[in-house]
Amino acid sequence: MAEEVFQNETIKEILSHYRKIWALGHAQSVLGWDMEVNMPKEGIMERSVAQGELSVLSQSFMLEPKFVELIERAGGEELNEYESGVVRVLNRSLKIARAFPPEFVREMSEVSSRATAAWTEAKAKNDYSLFEPWLDKNIELARKAADYLGYEEYPYDALLDLFEEGLTTRDVDKIFEKLEKELKPLLDKILNEGKVPKEHPLEKEKYDQKAMEKVNLEILKLFGYPLGQRARLDVSAHPFTTEFGIRDVRITTRYEGFDFRRSILSTVHEFGHALYELQQDERFMFSPIAGGVSLGIHESQSRFWENIIGRSMEFAELIYPILKENLPFIREYTPEDIYWYFNLVRPDFIRTEADVVTYNLHILLRYKLERMMINEGVGAKDLPEFWNDEMENLLGIRPKTYQEGILQDIHWSHGTIGYFPTYTIGTLLSTQIASYMEKVINIGEKVRNGEFDEIKGWLREKVHRWGSIYPPKELLKRSFGEGINPDYFIRWVKDRYL
Ligand code: MG
């Protein structure tokens, strides 16, 4: 049997207290999953109150003086790296829990639910005015949150850090400056050279949902996803992954009824998130170091599976028989058709449908707007115009409706501001990770043969098994010897598309 990782008596006491915080988190995840997958529409009001109250309860457990005292005491003791990880993660949670007064936590949670309901209606009706006051409310709360949390340079730093520990406006500026400079001309070149198709007849092919479900399940089976044992696949409007624990991880997908790559690639994407949680060290169970360390690292895992595996020629070959068996129209296409269909490049309005090249420009646009909201005091009223101008600047197209412009994403309705940059960080890291992996594993060959064990094992060793012991920047340094570097992504785009 593997050695116990937690030996220190103070840490053991901390973990026994932490179990009830963990249990609340577990319950909140179940409620959140149910809300997206099963809950009838009008359940939202009661659910959001319940969620808000549980957040407050969790915060009060976190701040119990005995618990705080134990964490402080442990900080002065000699600890192994796992135990130090526990103290680091709890100190961070403590800092956040202490920063926000309980009524503020309750307010954020309730406003978030109601703003989401308003956004849903506003989007359906293409009526920004329904959402505008709620967006202002969320911006105000985010600025307040930044003040409560504290920051050195910009208020936005405090928000970035909530989603990606240690990330600053300065870091993100540096990444995006490089991307904007390199990607815009690269995109022009790709579009003008004409090697990469802009559209494909497969986008219009309609499929039967039952058949498509079978395709997704077969692909997950190839990956070794432990369906029914430790994992599920369900349907929701916005695909996501949630973990109730190491042995109960759930992903969702969606079925639009046409353009089947959306359903496949989002299933493959969420599988990458799920694998990170499923491959945690089981000795961390019930402790604060179980689970992915940050959103950016998490997204690197999902993008690795989506872009590196899912959009490869070898993957198109691998799944071709599955597609042919379940989707009758596939007979008229070759694996190479599937490959290009998965790799189209076309400037378009909707981020979630964006190709790999334009995707980061969509994120850059949101980043610029978030910086305005938080660092420069711009209000909701002026944002649609900024959105459209920036879209034109980056992608050369201008939205005609709010639905294809500022109302498209759910994030700002949840009050999550500072989250978007983690998508780009994940995308960049996925190509970095692929490049390191390629030195020891022939990824294409493995995919062609449907052998995923070595790839999964490598990811476990380099990323998954460390849970949240180290902050993201340190994890990268330890496992790969360098931090986020956009050069890998630029090179990857050139290799693939030029
Ligand atoms: Mg994701």
Of all helices (H) and strands (E), which one includes residue 16?
Answer: helix 9-37
Distance 424 CA to ligand 1 centre (A): 11
Q: Coil, helix or strand for 334? A: coil
Q: Please list all protein residues whose beta carbon sits less than 5 angstroms from ligand 1, which is an ion.
A: 302
Mode of pairing for the β-strands spanning 248-253 and 241-245: antiparallel
What pLDDT is attached to residue 328? 96
Residue type, 94: L
Distance 492 CA to ligand 1 centre (A): 20
Report how far residue 436's alpha carbon sits from residue 231's, in angstroms, rounded to the nearest whole number.
Answer: 29
Going by C-alpha positions, the residue among 28, 57, 47 that lies closest to residue 245 is 28
Distance 269 CA to ligand 1 centre (A): 7
What pLDDT is attached to residue 2? 65
Catalytic residue among 270, 306, 314, 390: 270
Full strand arrangement of the beta sheet holding 231-235? 231-235, 248-253, 241-245
What pLDDT is attached to residue 194? 81
Sign of CA dihedral 445, 448, 454, 460: positive
Distance 59 CA to ligand 1 centre (A): 27
Distance 270 CA to ligand 1 centre (A): 6
Going by C-alpha positions, the residue among 370, 307, 314 that lies closest to residue 142 is 370
CB 85 within 8 A of CB 289: yes
The pLDDT profile of the chain, 498 residues, written as one tens digit per residue, is 468 999 999 999 999 999 999 999 999 999 999 999 999 989 988 998 898 899 889 989 999 999 999 999 999 999 999 999 999 999 999 998 899 998 998 899 889 989 999 999 999 999 999 999 999 999 999 999 999 999 999 999 999 999 999 999 999 999 999 999 999 999 999 999 988 999 999 999 999 999 999 999 999 999 999 999 999 999 998 899 999 999 999 999 999 999 999 999 999 999 999 999 999 999 999 999 999 999 999 999 999 999 999 999 999 999 999 999 999 999 999 999 999 999 999 999 999 889 999 999 999 999 999 999 999 999 999 999 999 999 999 999 999 999 999 999 999 999 999 999 999 999 999 999 999 999 999 999 999 999 999 999 999 999 999 999 999 999 999 999 999 999 999 999 999 999
What pLDDT is attached to residue 56? 87
Residue 243 a catalytic site member: no
Q: The pTM is what?
A: 0.94
